[in-house]
Amino acid sequence: MNYPNGQRKTLPVRKSTSEQDNNIFSNRGMTLEEDINITNQFYLDTDQAIIHKKPTPVQIVKVNYPKRSAAVITEAYFKQASTTDYNGLYRGRYVDFEAKETKNKTLFPLANVHDHQIRHMESIVNHGGICFMIIRFAAYEETYYMPAEKLFSYWYDKLQGGKKSISYEHIKQDSHLIPFHYQRRVDYISIINKLYF
């Protein structure tokens, strides 16, 4: 476009609908926890499941009151090690899972999982609950559902001197790719339906 002062200005080119859709998908860019929370809210709003993030047990030690209407926690500590991140009910079954995100492109470090979490997950499985781990590879924008039983074999192999990580290829092989949807960003219920119902 030519303006009276002789300067030329180019107008922005509009992206096609498919390009806009691709940008929405590629820039979904929230953390795994945010995506799961949005998904859980959708499940709750549509009366499909009741799954919540577990609060971390904290003991407050010291509180300052700079104003009468405001309190600031200045010292606190964790009461106990937390177990897994999420739990709830789906179709009459107890659901319990841990969620981890990694920037590593080739493996998932088992150092991200703790012994007390494995013991907790084993207890859930032994009592007939649905237990799993959600692993996101941020570099690929891929999120996987790994059944707890598969995770256990890698964990105990590590304890006996085996690998201290799970390769990306093994995760692809032993897990289920979780589909991404706008409102169900981490649609793990679709995987539970395939495996259990």
**64-123 pLDDT per residue, tens:** 887 777 777 777 665 556 788 899 999 999 999 999 999 999 999 999 999 999 999 999
Instruction: Give the pTM.
Output: 0.76
Class of domain 31-55+81-196: alpha beta
**Residue-range domain boundaries for the chain:** 31-55+81-196
Residue percentage of the chain with pLDDT more than 70? 79
Position 121 scores a pLDDT of 96
The pLDDT of residue 115 is 93
- If you average pLDDT over every residue of the chain, what do you get? 84
Q: Give the pLDDT score at 106.
A: 96
Q: On the CB side of 35, how many CA atoms lie within 13 Å of its CA?
A: 27
- Residue 79, C-beta contacts closer than 8 angstroms, at least 6 positions apart: 57, 58, 59
Over 60: is that where the pLDDT of 22 sits?
Answer: no
* pLDDT higher than 80, residue 27: no
Separation of first and last alpha carbons in the chain: 61
CA gap 89, 50 in Å, rounded: 5
Q: What is the pLDDT of residue 71?
A: 79
Sheet (strand 130-137) strand order = 50-53, 86-90, 93-102, 130-137, 142-147, 176-177
Per-residue pLDDT, 59:
67
Q: Give the 3-state secondary structure percentages of the chain, helix then strand then coil, rounded to 5.
A: 35, 30, 35
The residue whose two tokens read 């995100």 is 101
161-185: average pLDDT: 94
Please determine, for residue 40, whether its predicted confidence score (pLDDT) is greater than 50: yes
**pLDDT value of position 86:** 96
Kindly indicate the confidence band of residue 12, based on its pLDDT and cuts at 50, 70 and 90. Answer: very low
